[in-house]
């Protein structure tokens, strides 16, 4: 049985992330952990509600949050009749990162799924900050971020960018391999470069990937860089109508180079394609 942790703020975007997870793991035995956290803006408490105690405010927030969580459970019982799926809910006062870490320690979480909300300009500073915070600090679990408008019908094409400079451990690739195998999807390994001659390290790592991915439908793609690596990857993904992009989180790796170009943030905010951040084991 898989254990999937889904943080929610009860927004439409969070609902979409939940629906995507339910579809993605429809045929698998899953325990879904639905987590909501809340915190008070103490500045607003002092300024606007000085007569009301903090305990009263926390109680009000807690009651409202639990009522909304009950609405989710009631909806799932009425509209999601899947005997393979079970649900457990948590409503906690505190910061999201801390509560996610506590869940990971207590439960055998296989993946975290959460939504991202599109934004432009200065709005990016505020919107999606929880998602960005988790991506930065939770590196030992795969995190699937789902754009707000994404509608999963079937997982047909998965894009995995690589420059063949990393030695891939089996457990690092396993979350991606499991999804590709479950859906019988095509996996596109995309090497974006200005020249495609591989050095000995790259040759060795490519051979290793062939072994790790044996039995899957894999296409080995070489594509010239168009301005930036991130643009090239997103352009290729759009051209094949990819359903998912998977990226590694290892330091000094391809993902780190992509992050300098802010591709993870671009995908999270701008792309219609979900991003699977594969785990880093230190």
pLDDT along the chain (282 residues), means of 10: 96 93 96 92 56 75 94 95 96 93 96 76 49 84 90 95 90 95 97 92 96 97 86 91 85 47 56 85 60
Q: Which residues of 163-191 are buried (b: 16+ CB within 10 A; e: fewer)?
A: bbebebeeebbebbbbbbeebebbbbbbb
Question: Where in the chain are the domains?
Answer: 2-147, 157-277
pTM exceeds 0.85, yes or no:
yes
Say which CATH superfamily domain 2-147 falls into: HUPs (3.40.50.620)
**pLDDT tens readout for residues 66-82:** 999 999 999 999 999 89
**Identical fold at 2-147 and 157-277?**
yes
**pLDDT tens readout for residues 122-180:** 444 434 567 778 888 898 999 999 988 889 999 999 999 999 998 888 889 999 999 99
pLDDT given at position 130: 79
**Statement: 157-277 belongs to CATH 3.40.50.620:** yes
């Amino acid at each position: 049985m898989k254990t999937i942790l889904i943080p929610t703020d009860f927004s439409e975007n969070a609902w979409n992330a939940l629906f995507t997870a339910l579809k993605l793991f429809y045929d698998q035995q899953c325990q879904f952990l639905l987590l909501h956290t809340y915190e008070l803006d103490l500045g607003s408490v002092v300024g606007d509600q000085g007569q009301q105690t903090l305990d009263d405010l926390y109680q009000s927030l807690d009651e409202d949050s639990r009522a909304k969580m009950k609405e989710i459970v009631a909806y799932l019982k009425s509209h999601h009749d899947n005997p393979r799926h079970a649900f457990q809910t948590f409503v906690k006062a505190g910061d999201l990162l801390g509560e996610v870490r506590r869940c990971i320690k207590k439960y055998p979480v296989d993946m975290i799924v959460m939504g991202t909300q599109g934004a432009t300009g200065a709005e990016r500073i505020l919107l999606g900050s929880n998602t960005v915070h988790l991506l930065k600090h939770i590196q030992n679990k795969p995190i699937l971020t789902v754009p707000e408008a994404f509608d999963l019908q079937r997982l047909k094409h998965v894009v995995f960018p690589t420059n063949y400079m990393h030695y891939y451990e089996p457990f690092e690739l396993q979350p991606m391999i499991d999804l590709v195998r479950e859906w019988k999807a095509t996996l596109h390994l995309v090497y974006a470069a200005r020249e495609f001659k591989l050095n000995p390290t790259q040759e060795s790592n490519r051979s290793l990937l062939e072994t790790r991915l044996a039995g899957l439908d894999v296409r080995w793609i070489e594509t010239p860089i168009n301005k930036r690596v991130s643009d090239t990857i997103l352009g290729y993904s759009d051209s094949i109508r990819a359903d998912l992009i998977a990226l590694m989180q290892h330091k000094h790796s391809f993902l780190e180079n992509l992050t300098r170009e802010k591709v993870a943030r671009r995908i999270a905010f701008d792309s219609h394609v979900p991003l699977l951040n594969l785990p880093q084991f230190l």
